[in-house]
């Protein structure tokens, strides 16, 4: 970075001398990061439940197909964002395509 030359913030486009992000966007990102550090999404018996779901997977709950070569099973939360929700077997590609949409919006 050239000293004294303003660049556009990569998030909002405001001109700044402080690197790639303006001070406001940088502060917002830090608040989000600090909030995430304080929460532990995969606590308790999640890993055991997820391993059991993957080990016993027969059909993807999203596309209703069986195993696919090169597309491993994942343990998908029925209700995204709720760490205590039921876990269901899904292909990695189906789980990724679903994103964080609720089951009733698919």
The predicted structure's pLDDT at residue 41 = 60
23-74 tens-digit pLDDT: 888 888 887 777 665 555 666 688 889 999 999 999 999 999 999 999 999 9
Predicted TM-score (pTM) of this structure: 0.59
The beta-strand segments (E) located in the chain are 7-8, 15-16, 73-77, 87-91
Helix, strand, coil shares of the chain as percentages rounded to 5? 35, 15, 50
| Among 49, 57, 52, 44, residue whose Cα is nearest residue 89 | 57
Neighbouring-strand partners of residue 75? 89
């Amino acid at each position: 970075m050239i000293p004294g030359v303003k660049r556009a913030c990569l998030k909002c486009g405001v001109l700044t001398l402080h690197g790639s992000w303006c001070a406001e966007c940088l502060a917002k990102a830090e608040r989000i990061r600090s909030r995430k550090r304080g929460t532990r999404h995969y606590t308790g018996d999640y890993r055991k439940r997820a391993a059991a779901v993957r080990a016993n997977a027969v059909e993807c709950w999203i596309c209703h197909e069986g195993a696919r070569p090169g597309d491993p099973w994942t343990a998908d939360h029925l209700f995204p964002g709720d760490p205590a929700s039921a876990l269901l077997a899904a292909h990695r590609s189906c789980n990724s395509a679903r994103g964080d949409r609720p089951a009733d919006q698919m």
